[in-house]
Amino acid sequence: MENILVIVEGKKTEPQLLQRLSKSFGLDFDIYCLESNIYTLYKELKAIDFNGNIKDILAELHPEQKEMLSKKFVYTYLIFDCDAHHPKRDDKRTIEEIVNANFKKLEEMSGYFVDETDPTVGRLYINFPMVESFKDCDFFFDPSYANNQVGIHDLTHYKEIVSKRLLSRIRMDQFTQKNWLSLILQNVYKLNRIETGIWDKPTYSAYTIESQLPSVIKTEKSIIDGNNSLAVLNMSLFIVLDYFGNRYGFYDQITQ
């Protein structure tokens, strides 16, 4: 079994999500919790002009994790919330100014973390607006997800918004592999919807293009510019797709 390092920001929801995906699809995840948001990581990387080993940076932040980080990993993934509304300390800017500044940082980050096979870099996944987006629906494949957006002025209340969804009433440990596949497919449809305007499954080759983070961030930014909203999209689920790809027709089978 191949060792996979997944770097996340939270100590609860993200590890639980990954543990359930790991169990459902037979993956071997080592999970590192940064315990901070993506903009903290951005600050560390910016200080060294994005010229460093991600595992060395993490080991400096959390020395107690050095042993785990010293392992050899075949794949390295990073999962973070968009957290577009995150202000600086004593921030006097408007929410629009904060979001615009943070998206510029996300654009810079998305151009750096592009290779999951490079253990010094890894591949970045952003959840819009945050990881809870995977249960922002009432069914495991919910067509209403196609138009699901959240206004930038409502971002601080997003967890409360999600808690009212029917899917939030079901514990993750009760999700079956079929349930997870439905949620993955739902987000593939949503990805295609925001990139092309069509609520349908893209071909595998189209998916590999549409799911490139710089493209997604550019599209999300255009949605913000248009109506001050983010399109709800959970990209962390795409780890399963990107790990298996279309080997033995995996992608084709789940999108039938």
Q: What is the pLDDT of residues 216-253, one digit of tens each?
A: 999 999 999 999 999 999 999 999 999 999 998 999 99
Any bridge partners for residue 249, and if so which? none
Which of 213, 220, 148 is closest to 183 using CA atoms?
Answer: 148
At 149 the pLDDT is: 98
Average the pLDDT over 77-95 and give the result. Answer: 90
- 214 prior amide bond cis, ω within 30: no
Which of 217, 254, 238 is closest to 100 using CA atoms?
Answer: 217
Q: Note the pLDDT tens digit of each residue in 138-179.
A: 999 999 999 999 999 999 999 999 999 999 999 999 999 999
Contact (Cβ atoms closer than 8 angstroms) between residue 210 and residue 202: yes
Contact (Cβ atoms closer than 8 angstroms) between residue 138 and residue 130: no
Contact (Cβ atoms closer than 8 angstroms) between residue 141 and residue 186: yes
Instruction: Round the average pLDDT of the chain to a whole number and report it.
Output: 93
Which of 81, 84, 16 is closest to 228 using CA atoms?
Answer: 84
Q: Using pLDDT thresholds of 50, 70 and 90, give the confidence band for residue 215.
A: very high
What is the rounded distance in angstroms from the CA atom of residue 2 to the CA atom of residue 13?
23
Q: Is pLDDT above 90 for 196?
A: yes
What is the rounded distance in angstroms from the CA atom of residue 116 to the CA atom of residue 124?
8
Measured between its terminal Cα atoms, the distance across the chain in Å is 28
Q: Is pLDDT above 70 for 256?
A: yes
At 1 the pLDDT is: 61
Tokens matching residue 222: 């255009």
Per the model's pLDDT, the better-predicted residue between 99 and 62 turns out to be 99
- What ranges do the domains of the chain cover? 3-254
Any bridge partners for residue 124, and if so which? 78
Tokens matching residue 216: 């997604």
At 162 the pLDDT is: 97
Average the pLDDT over 109-123 and give the result. Answer: 93
Q: Using pLDDT thresholds of 50, 70 and 90, give the confidence band for residue 181.
A: very high
Which of 243, 248, 241 is closest to 206 using CA atoms?
Answer: 241
What is the rounded distance in angstroms from the CA atom of residue 190 to the CA atom of residue 200?
8
Tokens matching residue 239: 């780890």
Residue 50 gets the label, from left (phi > 0), alpha (psi -120 to 50) or beta, of left
